[in-house]
Amino acid sequence: MIEKLKTKNFEKSINLGVIGFNRGRTFLEIAADQFENVKPAGICDIDPSKIEIARKLFANTPVFSSLDEMLQNTDLDALIVETPANNHTTVCTKALDAGIHVLCDVPCVDNAAEGTMLYEAVKRSKPIYMSGANPNLRPTTEAMLDLNARGIFGKPYYIETEYVHDIRSLYESSPWRQFYKPIKYCTHSLGPVLELIGEEFVSVTCLSTGSHVLNRPGQHDVMSALLKTKSNIVVRLLTSFVNNYHFDGTHMIRIFGTKGSAVIKPVSGELKISSEDLQFKYATNLFHDLNVEKVLPKYQGLPGAQHHGGTDYALLERFFEAIRTGEPSPIPVEKALRMALPGIFAAESADNDGAMTMIKYPWDN
């Protein structure tokens, strides 16, 4: 039997709840089976079929059809939020105000007003709010940041990042995805990039193709944005939820630096680099393939770790440890909003035929 993972102060028990059992099921199973002293204490979903599954898999855990009912009838220490994006702010605010630590999936908010609402809720609350931005913790992200810290790229000044994922197969399990503007689902792409450049975006222009593939009014096949920082770093963000393009994998990052460049495919672990600092005598190939681990080494071999590169484990471990030690949130609300709000303002730009749009954050006020 594999020994359970033990965080600092693992003796402190955590009663864990989940809202949104479709994706939340994975987190709850990992938490209960693989982490020491974490107990399933409540499950919430509005879908009767999901409620039935939850009751079978977690027979000793109370299951509810409303968040208010769960908060009133359970003693939760922490809550994992896996609802559609337009429910995130309401759910997180209620949980935080009830004194419950929150790990929320991405994107953290659905509009700019919710950004302010969430920011203020976190600032007035004692519990931790943590973003579930798992791409920030991928092996390729850590490798990219290590290369940057060594000066391999020089100063990155232009980056292309893509999330091209035909999600039509998910329409039944996640109906909200059908007409969700894909540019708003940007945290997977912008999270690692923001860690790399260390600056927030200040302006954006964005265009949408509309719907060509299915010809559905209100749907967007591809949306493409240009984002800029104060120091004039430019990032092109491409997102697509409906497409027949299947060549480069779901995620892609290209880095242009003053001394070097890179092409990164986070899911497959491909990381190709070229740099002035990595030229070898008589070498005919200027490019170097690092072949990064697909799964974080610490979690290799654990059940389900191959999905998302082991980052589901990493998110939970950092979340539980922060709760038990009182340390700051590993991915705080400021980072969450820097990853999400650019997509929201990009969607506004697309609605205005690509007009340059300033990105506003709650702390700007």
Q: How many CB atoms lie within 10 A of CB 281?
A: 4
Q: What is the pLDDT of residues 172-186, one digit of tens each?
A: 888 888 899 999 999
CA–CA separation, 129 vs 62, rounded Å?
24
Predicted pLDDT at 159 = 98
Report whether pLDDT(284) > 80.
Answer: no
Mean pLDDT of 151-160: 97
In the predicted model, what is the mean pLDDT of the chain? 95
How many angstroms separate the Cα of 303 from the Cα of each of 7, 18, 293, 306?
18, 20, 17, 8
Determine contact, residues 109/93, Cβ cutoff 8 Å.
no
Strand partners, 204: 227, 357
Residue with tokens 């709840």: 17
Which residues 6+ apart lie within 8 Å of 178 measured at CB?
Answer: 171, 216, 219
Kindly report the backbone phi and psi dihedral angles of residue 308, in degrees, each rounded to the nearest multiple of 5, phi listed first.
Answer: 60, 25
Strand partners, 214: none
Q: Which domains does the chain have, with CATH numbers?
A: 14-133+308-331 (3.40.50.720), 136-297+340-364 (3.30.360.10)
Predicted pLDDT at 175 = 84
Mean pLDDT of 288-315: 93
Mean pLDDT of 142-159: 97
Determine contact, residues 361/338, Cβ cutoff 8 Å.
yes
What are the tokens at 317?
A: 């471990």
Could you check whether the bond before residue 107 is cis, i.e. omega within 30 degrees of 0? yes
Q: Among 265, 25, 246, 23, which Cα is nearest to 138's?
A: 265
Mean pLDDT of 153-170: 96
Percent of the chain with pLDDT over 70: 98
Report whether pLDDT(126) > 80.
Answer: yes
Q: What is the pLDDT of residues 67-89, one digit of tens each?
A: 999 999 999 999 999 999 999 99
What are the tokens at 268?
A: 């497959």
Q: What is the pLDDT of residues 195-208, one digit of tens each?
A: 999 999 999 999 99
Higher pLDDT, 267 or 104: 104
Report whether pLDDT(1) > 70.
Answer: no
